[in-house]
Amino acid sequence: MLHCATMEREDDRFEPLYQDSRSTWRVMAYRVFAATVSGCICWIWFYRVSHIPEVGGNRTGLVRLVWFGMLGAELWFGMYWCLTQSLRWNPVRRQTFKDRLSRRYENDLPALDVFVCTADPEIEPPLMVVNTVLSVTALDYPLEKLAVYLSDDGYSELTFYALAEAADFAKHWVPFCKKFKVEPRSPAAYFSRKKTSDYRCDSEDAEVEKLYREMADRIETAEKLKRVPEDMQSKYKAGFSQWSLDATRRDHGTVLQILIDGRREVKGEDMEGNELPTLVYMSREKRPQYPHHFKAGAMNALIRVSSKITGGKIILNLDCDMYANSSQSAREALCVLLDERQGREIAFVQFPQCFGNITSNDLYGNRWQVGIDVEFPGLDGNGGPLYIGTGCFHRRDVICGRRYGDEESESVWQTGNHKKMGEISEEEIKNLASCTYDENSQWGKEMGLKYGCPVEDVITGLAIQCRGWKSVYLNPEKKAFVGVAPTTLSQTLVQHQRWSDGDFQILLSEYCPLLYGHRKIGLALQLGYCSYCLWAPTSIPTLYYSLVPSLCLLKGIPLFPEVSSLWFLPFGYVILATSAYSLAEYLWCGGTLHGWWNEQRMWLYKRTSSYVFGFIDTIRKLLRVSEPAFVVTSKVADVEQAERYNKETMEFGVESPMFTLLAVIGLVNLFCFVGSVKRVVVADDFQTMWLQALLTGILLVLNWPLYEGLFLRKDKGKVPTSETVKSVVLASLVCTCFAFL
């Protein structure tokens, strides 16, 4: 028996901790489909070049100008479509074997440091933040090897107070989760499942829920009163004494408090006498005269500070709204990072960004289902997914600059010096979070997250891959992390403006994937990066296609071949085939027909507003007309907004340049369609104008929620009256001016 057990363990050493799977037949079928679409795209280009209008009279110049504009837009769309095929050319799925990990490494699991970042207590409520912290504090992981760090860039006493409350509540929550294998391990998410069939309920459960509700009430009361209870100020005097009365959010010293750490005098134990994970609060120093580099600066400060406290070899970073939905996420990631055959070449493991508040038909297209189930597996097959800034497990030494092939270094930032932990004071560690520490150093360049870009995560992941490392994408059946998606149109568009702006900056910088990645990463992965970096410039041809065909319909200028012509076939095939495939892909990913239609609308809205402004912002920054900025998306909605969101009623409600642009485009389409109805129904014009009328009609249907917001709705979520008047005037001027050209 002993011999058999030994043989089994020996055999287990040769079994991989994860495996890949690929669907060859599906990929081959898609490649055939893509080849037919590519052929028709070339046919369309040839039509544009070979059928340049020969029009007499005063309209010749205008018609040709419009025609060449259509050629330019279609050239861009065609090339961009071919570019995005790299995301679907070689998808790979991963399966992990956590049982094998436990048998081989249970006693040798590496120390894990979890970084949670928050920036504004007004739009990122402290109660939401501590739910994220508590969820990762209770991960299924050796507690003596687990540490959680909260970076508060909002310099908020209320956030620190909430974390102190969470430290006390963790004494009950962590053993409760371990004992009953609670899922998910965010108290708010777990206790909200009372009405579901998988919710357990007994006296112990009720007692823990009562403690949580009491804690939540105290935190929310402190928020309303803007005051921390005196008993907590006394209990955590060392922490609260670090706040200065004359300090502000943008001008203050470092606040650092170790709330729980078994290696120090603040050793924490739960109600059963077991050790609790380390828990640390940090608000790094900020001064107006020094750049703080937004989230990248906070992450780099955390890397340095944590290296002197726990020094975990693995780092997980999370946004403050992304709670741990699965307690097994760390073990899933380590199945990849500790795999003896392939794990040594993996720098980071990226989980998808999932949301728990998406409506049934995904009103604002925030689920990004196709990206999660199709595009990121495609990136994974080409060398690894992008680093998206949350839900990512990093090797500490790699994010600190180690190149693939170099031996593991024992530098001060890459591993903690545990023998001297007790000798290092908090004051000494505070210096590592000072606003001057990065000056004249490699931080933000060769070490840590990159500085100078709104999407510091993407550029950091690219730099890591260009140092020879690969990354892996894991999307287990049970979502690892779940967050809060924007619940208004304005929030969604602002978020995508920042993303498109940052990605476009990467394309125009020294980190352009095609140049920086040349001979460092594969061409397919370079193209995959470019497909996101080109979001912003793709807005220009989309804007053109959304306006000019409709205006030409009003003026009677045909831009497409007649329905009876053979030249109509490539246009018809590309429209029908790509639309049908897009719908099938969305449904295959678990979406609904209505959800797909909502995604098409948001695709249009983002490309004709967010990405337009992202494009303009990038150009302004290149010309040094404006400075970089980082906009935090609000996680708070009032009661009426929440009700409209749950009913899937689109939220406008505020004045915004992006809403003005959307409204003007939508009204131009409406005015042109109404003004051309008579012409289109005439038999002679139907053949030549049908496709233009169809395009304009589709835009009208997509814009129906916008028209409701402009003219029909009376609630607070409608388009403001001033915005409506301004948009009607501008749209009328556009149509009138074009009609007289």
Average pLDDT score over residue span 464-476: 96
Ramachandran area for residue 357 (φ above 0: left; ψ -120 to 50: alpha; else beta): alpha
Which position among 261, 319, 321, 457 bears the catalytic label?
457
Between 59 and 473, residue with greater pLDDT: 473
Is 38 buried (19+), middle (13-18) or exposed (0-12) by CB count in 10 A? middle
Domains parsed from the chain with CATH numbers: 33-87+530-739 (no CATH), 96-485 (3.90.550.10)
pLDDT at position 5: 43
Q: Which pLDDT score, from 0 to 100, does residue 579 have?
A: 96
Confidence of residue 99 (pLDDT cuts 50, 70, 90): very high
Does residue 270 carry a catalytic annotation?
Answer: no
pLDDT tens by residue, 477-535: 999 999 999 999 999 999 999 999 999 999 999 999 999 999 999 999 999 999 999 99
DSSP class of 422: G
Strand order in the sheet with 346-350: 255-260, 278-283, 146-152, 112-118, 314-319, 392-395, 346-350, 470-473
Separation of first and last alpha carbons in the chain? 92
> What is the structure's pLDDT at 62?
86
Q: Rounded to whole angstroms, how far apart are CA atoms 318 and 301? A: 15
Alpha helices in 51-107 (DSSP H): 60-84, 98-105
Give the pLDDT band of residue 202 (cuts 50, 70, 90).
confident
Let me know if 457 is a catalytic residue.
yes
Q: What is the pLDDT of residues 567-576, one digit of tens each?
A: 999 999 999 9
The amino acid occupying position 534 is: L
pTM of the entire predicted model = 0.92
Catalytic residue among 113, 140, 153, 362: 153
Preceding omega of 628 cis (within 30 degrees of 0):
no
Indicate the pLDDT class of residue 4, thresholds 50, 70 and 90. Answer: very low
Work out the mean pLDDT of the chain and round it to a whole number.
90
Is residue 268 within 8 A of residue 248, CB to CB? The reply is no
Between CA 283 and CA 253 the distance in angstroms is 8
Q: How confident is the model at residue 676 (pLDDT cuts 50, 70, 90)?
A: confident
